Structure 1
């Protein structure tokens, strides 16, 4: 398990850290450990949302497990809790609770379902930092990703956080899954530093806008990629600590977005961030001012969403539909889940009405006001 030489990670009280080559690899390892602890005699199954990144499916199938998709709650980025319970059977080994753009899943409710059925609860916190379970140990395993577009960008890599009681059990049972992993090294030499400089340069306002209009770069596209390898990969020394410090010093603009877009609620739009955090507050303490990767909205209809998207991007705002489709509609995924997207009406509706807005630190007050004017004019 990783040591930080005096640096205290926000999860250190409840979890041990294993750093690997990607967030997908970390999730796949969590699935593998869930299978081992459950010892199911049949093909193991893992429950996950029908809307999300196709890497979720890649992580599950890489362990020979079957991904079992469940629909979303209406108008929310969360799994429908009743659908989760109905999906559990004797082959189920775990539930993947996926955070969305800074909004965590309903971990308290999912923990109850997991406990009732003796299942592992995996918090996929690739888009949420710090993970919801950091201060309470709710999830058995936590997943972090340090790649492009994540809360902490370390130019790649990820981490599997294992709750300490599970770490102790692995040691007692001499389970050598983690010790058997190959190791790769990341060197902070000149080539790495040049890549990092170039990457950050391309993310600047004018250059990223140009790249978005170059289809061959694939920016914003949602594609399925099989998981090719799982290996230990420690971050460049000091980089994680610096990344967390930088994250903690950022000033979020979620509150500014919510205030500017308040008028949309009377026009049938849904401001997901404040609504979801208000609802989650009934199940336990939540972050009071979440750091959002992007600001999510649900339009009244796909037609209005598409019109707004066109107008916003004409104005250079950089709006996005994010994944764009429910998981079964994505090439490469539908063959693995063997179920039509029509089986998940809420996930399809969510994908069709979702629009996300940039929430990084370069977004100016003038940008927010411009977006508000464009969206309020939609009907």
Structure 2
């Protein structure tokens, strides 16, 4: 089998087709705030939650122990202390027993991550908050998932955020959206700066991004040790601004592209990793799974993960460790978070976790090669990597 080039871990082509009507403005609820990034959307939600609890002297927000440092950046911008709580042993969702221990009157928000398309247990979080008689707001962070149809746009959290950044489910190389149950308070809204005029180079940047996603070109970036692609680190949020007018015209065409995608490749991976005994994610994750941004694979131990990751990476097959550590061990984060209990599960999860690509550039030869390596790495016999 001859493969030409390296796969990116994530990323689909961005359409440059423009449309004056933004279809999502009609499909989402009435309280929408279109912003310059997903981090800005999360920070704005936190600013509003904070404004609703003026008597809380030291407002806090709960974040999961395995997550993107952009959550911390949003908390810092909003003047809210980020409290990291451990996740499940084999589940990116919260350890509910640990969460219960750290929910108190200072907590103004709990951030619930839709992890790569595996939903957090929002109903259970709401029940837990109600049982403790706390007014904390629930924020559903959907930076790693986007609805593909109107039927998926009914939300139940107090705030729901989305990101249109690079490598997101519906990427526009920038932008974010906050949907809220009720209008935001004036003090939060006044923090939004007017958007600058979109750069005339933005269409060229998007076209270049589309080209660089092609395996033959991505290989040039991926094999360059100076670039350190995919490195996870803390980046502060400096401002919140409005969504720009040019990206708004791209929303409809790119939503239509996103809606047309399917989960066929994810099901192919399922058939091999489950039969081979590779997948260690809690079985409850499957029931919460929707369309995936990347395929999540949790190995039995670090040694198996590292060996499989090395094999897939050497072959240019788009495998990635995602976040290589628990949130308190990410570069630049330590001074900005509170960790009341050791994040044992998050650290063990990070050591064993990796992702596989499911984007449109994973053609049949790449798919066959990935399945073959997964089959060979399985702890149980698998009849065929082609199934």
1:238 equivalent in structure 2? 249
CA displacement, residues 157-190 of structure 1 (integer Å, 9 cap, x when unaligned): 1111112xx21xx4xxx6242145211135373x
Is 1:193 aligned to residue 203 of structure 2? yes
Return the TM-score normalized by structure 2: 0.85
> 1:11 touches 1:134 (CA, 8 Å); kept in 2?
no
Name the SS of the counterpart of 1:62 in structure 2.
Answer: helix
8 Å contact kept, 2:61–2:111? yes
Per-residue deviation, 1:7: 5.0
Q: Look up the match of 2:85.
A: 70
Aligned pair 1:177/2:192, yes or no? no
Q: What is the CA distance between 1:370 and its match in structure 2?
A: 2.0
**SS, match of residue 296 in structure 2:** strand
* Change over 3 Å in CA distance of 1:144–1:22 after alignment to 2: same
Q: Give the Cα–Cα distance (whole angstroms) in 1 for the partners of residues 66 and 245 of structure 2.
A: 30
Sort the Cα spacing of 1:6 and 1:310 in 2 relative to 1 into closer, same or farther, 3 A.
closer
> CA, structure 1 residues 235+270, in 2 after alignment: closer, same or farther (shift >3 Å)?
farther
Instruction: Structure 1 unaligned segments of length 5 or more: list them.
Output: 281-286
Alignment partner of 1:126 is 2:143: yes
Residue 36 of structure 2 is aligned to residue 21 of structure 1: yes
Using the size of structure 1 for normalisation, the TM-score is 0.86
After alignment, is 215-224 or 69-78 more displaced?
A: 215-224
The alpha carbon displacement at 1:9 in A equals: 2.5
| Mapped partners of 1:10, 1:129: distance in 2 | 14
Cα distance change, pair 186–162 in 1 and its aligned pair in 2 (3 A): farther
Which runs of structure 2 are paired with 1:78-89 in the superposition (5 Å)?
Answer: 78-89=93-104
Q: 1:119 to 1:338 in 2, by over 3 A?
A: closer
Shift in CA distance, 78/298, structure 1 to aligned 2, threshold 3 Å:
same
Mapping of 1:1-379 within 5 angstroms? Answer: 8-9=23-24, 12=27, 14-116=29-131, 117-130=134-147, 135-163=153-181, 166-167=182-183, 170=184, 175-187=186-198, 189=200, 191-236=201-246, 237-252=248-263, 253-265=265-277, 268-270=278-280, 276-278=285-287, 280=288, 290-339=290-339, 343-378=342-377
> Where has structure 1 moved over 6 Å in runs of 4 or more?
none
**Deviation at residue 40 of structure 1 after TM alignment:** 3.5
Q: Give 3-state SS (helix, strand or coil) of 2:256's partner.
A: helix
Q: Name the structure where helix makes up a greater proportion of residues.
A: 1
Report if the CA contact (8 A) 1:296-1:354 is conserved: yes
CA distance in 2, matches of 1:235, 1:16: 19
Shift in alpha-carbon separation, 1:235–1:75, aligned structure 2, 3 A: farther
Aligned to 2:220, what secondary structure does the other structure show? Answer: helix
* Compared CA separation, residues 133 and 127, structure 1 to 2 (3 A): farther
| CA deviation string 1:62-85 (max 9, x = no partner) | 111111111001101111112112
| CA deviation after TM superposition for structure 1 residue 115, in Å | 3.6
Query: Could you say what the CA RMSD is over the residues aligned between the two structures, in angstroms?
Result: 2.5
Aligned mates of 2:346, 2:307 — CA distance in 1: 21
SS of the counterpart of 1:347?
A: helix
Compute the displacement of 1:34 (Å).
0.8
- Any conservation in 2 of the 1:251–1:361 contact (CA below 8 Å)? no
SS in 1 for 2:257: helix
**Partner secondary structure for residue 93 of structure 2:** coil
- In the alignment, the residues of structure 1 paired with residue 332 and residue 284 of structure 2 have an alpha-carbon distance, to the nearest angstrom, of 33
Unmatched runs of 5 consecutive residues or more in structure 2 = 1-18, 380-387
Distance 1:145 1:263, change over 3 A: same
Q: Separation in 2 of the partners of 1:231 and 1:249?
A: 30
* Deviation digits for residues 72-120 of structure 1 (CA, Å, limit 9, x no counterpart): 0110111111211211111110100011111121111112223442110
